[in-house]
Amino acid sequence: MITMDTIIKDPNEILRTKCEKVSLPLSVEDKDLLEKMLKYVRDSRNEELAEKYNLMPAVGIAAPQVGVNKQMTIVSVEEHDANSEQVTLYEYALVNPVIVSKSEKKCALSNGEGCLSITAPHEGYVYRSMRIKVKAYDYLTDQQITLSASGYLAIVIQHEIDHLNGILFYDHIHESDPWLEDENAILI
């Protein structure tokens, strides 16, 4: 079981390592890991389970965060309407994901980003592409997919793919002015 006790923390060097491609079809070991990662993300949003098993709320997790140097990540984002009722759940278990196109338009979370693997504070805007297109194998649908994402979902996917390339969110924060505003970017 994955818990906050087993999640790899910065500055562990595996978080800075470019992950290896995964052979398809998936091995039993790789499927098992994806299932455990998915369980963590789903359970982390249940307050009772999160407290019982020492889980921090998450919308994604990547294999290097659990000590596995493979291109695998989970993304699970709920999109809510104006009344804060769940509208759509975007959930993927991406293997060998590649961003094939991205918009010039940028966006960032207004409060900055966080990460299960980073305990030290790193405040500031993390500018990312507003829209992306990703090709990957999706374990949940058992097929190669091309997905288009924008806004918050695009931010989460880019954050997770960064993990697979040894990049952490604070690498994107402006060094001398962390809250430097980009007038052409959208804050979410």
**SS3 of residue 126 by DSSP:** coil
Contact 158, 129 (CB under 8 A): yes
User: Is 2 part of a structural domain of the chain?
Assistant: no
Q: Residue ranges of the alpha helices (H) in the chain?
A: 28-44, 47-53, 151-164
CB atoms within 10 A of CB 120: 8
What is the share, in percent, of the chain residues with pLDDT greater than 70?
99
User: Is 6 part of a structural domain of the chain?
Assistant: no
Q: Look over the chain and give the mean of its residue pLDDT values, rounded to a whole number.
A: 96
What is the share, in percent, of the chain residues with pLDDT greater than 90?
94
Name the CA radius of gyration of the chain, rounded: 16
pTM score > 0.75 for this model?
yes
Domain hosting 44: range is 13-187
As a whole number, mean pLDDT of residues 67-87 equals 88
Residue 84 has pLDDT above 80, yes or no: no
Q: What is the pLDDT of residues 40-73, one digit of tens each?
A: 999 999 999 999 999 999 999 999 999 999 999 9
Q: What is the pLDDT of residues 1-39, one digit of tens each?
A: 999 999 999 999 999 999 999 999 999 999 999 999 999
As a whole number, mean pLDDT of residues 117-144 equals 97
Contact 112, 37 (CB under 8 A): no
Q: How confident is the model at residue 87 (pLDDT cuts 50, 70, 90)?
A: confident
Q: Out of 54-63, 75-84, 122-131, 167-176, pick the least confident.
A: 75-84
Q: What's the confidence (pLDDT) of residue 80?
A: 79
User: Is 8 part of a structural domain of the chain?
Assistant: no
CATH of the domain at 124: 3.90.45.10
Residue 83 has pLDDT above 80, yes or no: no
Structural domain count of the chain: 1
As a whole number, mean pLDDT of residues 104-128 equals 97
Q: What's the confidence (pLDDT) of residue 86?
A: 66
User: Is 88 part of a structural domain of the chain?
Assistant: yes
Contact 98, 135 (CB under 8 A): yes
Any idea what the Cα angle at residue 37 is, between residues 57 and 78, rounded to 5°? 50
User: Is 72 part of a structural domain of the chain?
Assistant: yes
Q: Residue ranges of the alpha helices (H) in 21-150?
A: 28-44, 47-53
Q: What is the pLDDT of residues 132-172, one digit of tens each?
A: 999 999 999 999 999 999 999 999 999 999 999 999 999 99
Q: Report the distance separating Cα 183 and Cα 135, nearest Å.
A: 30
Which residue among 13, 20, 123, 160 is the active-site one?
160
User: Is 136 part of a structural domain of the chain?
Assistant: yes
User: Is 37 part of a structural domain of the chain?
Assistant: yes
Q: 13: which strand partners?
A: none
160 is a catalytic site residue: yes
Return the residue matching tokens 């293997």.
Answer: 95
